[in-house]
Amino acid sequence: MTQDALFQTLLRLGDNTLVLGHRVSEWCGKAPVLEEDIALANTALDFIGQTQMWLGYAAEVEGKGRSADDLAFLRDVWDFRNILMVERPNLDFGHTMMRQFLFDAYHRALLAALSTSSDTRIAEIAAKSVKEATYHLERSAETVIALGDGTEVSHAKMQEALNLLWPYAGEMFEADATDQLMIDAGVLPDPMPLRAEWMEKVSQVMAEATLSIPEDDFAHKGGRSGARHTEHLGHMLTQMQWLQRAYPGANW
């Protein structure tokens, strides 16, 4: 196991929660009802808290004197290692909740597996975070079912969201040479059982939501390696990183 492989793994874990946390936070003050406004803000806070732990550990592993804040606010777009799905814009509430559910179903399974990681620090972070992920999954699943099996309009919007997001889901289970090093060392779980668990949950929820899962298994890739990101990530970072870029070293 190399330190660089561990560093890249921690970036992948932390960047997913950082980017999705920011996306979800964009609903603050704009959600369709007050209850959802509060719930989404709390979800975003959970993600940012998890990011602090993942990127804090990543900074220690890197050993170059950087902090979690440096990794969050002072890296450029090509240095991010998040999956492409989480950087997609919110579009509408249905799209946001469908993206949330697809990620939550994966995230809950991943964190549960990581809680037995051979890396003690990763296991501790995962064990703490899986409780939040379990709650996130319950909420997003309930919302997807309610909207999918709701009115004709809400059903159509949720089916459209699923169709748009499905080609991005496969990247969550991609395994490259870095992943294989971590799998062989017992740090990461094999993604295939995770995919089976995820698919079982997704199939169950979509059946209840009366939504049809697309048959196409094409998957957009490149985010986890930094080889490719959508144009949306750069625009998002200009907002998220503006203060630290404009006023280097600023603190409260």
pLDDT (tens digit per residue) in 76-120? 999 999 999 999 999 999 999 999 999 999 999 999 999 999 999
Q: For residue 35, what pLDDT is reported?
A: 86
Give the mean model confidence (pLDDT) for residues 191-206: 97
Q: What total of structural domains would you count in the chain?
A: 1
Tell me which residue of 11, 68, 16 sits closest to 46, measured CA to CA.
16
Residue 61 confidence (pLDDT) above 70: yes
The pLDDT-based confidence of 1 (bands split at 50, 70, 90) is low
CATH of the domain at 89: 1.20.1260.10
The reply to whether 116 falls in a domain is yes
Give the mean model confidence (pLDDT) for residues 218-236: 95
pTM score, two decimals?
0.96
Interatomic CA distance for residues 92 and 163, integer angstroms: 14
Asked if residue 213 lies in contact with residue 166, where contact means CB atoms within 8 angstroms, the answer is yes
The residue with tokens 């990581």 is: 114
Asked if residue 84 lies in contact with residue 103, where contact means CB atoms within 8 angstroms, the answer is no
Asked if residue 74 lies in contact with residue 241, where contact means CB atoms within 8 angstroms, the answer is yes
The reply to whether 251 falls in a domain is no
The reply to whether 252 falls in a domain is no
Main-chain phi, psi angles of 237, to 5 degrees: -65, -30
Domain extent, residue 146, equals 3-213+221-246
The residue with tokens 């999918």 is: 148
Residue 37 confidence (pLDDT) above 70: yes
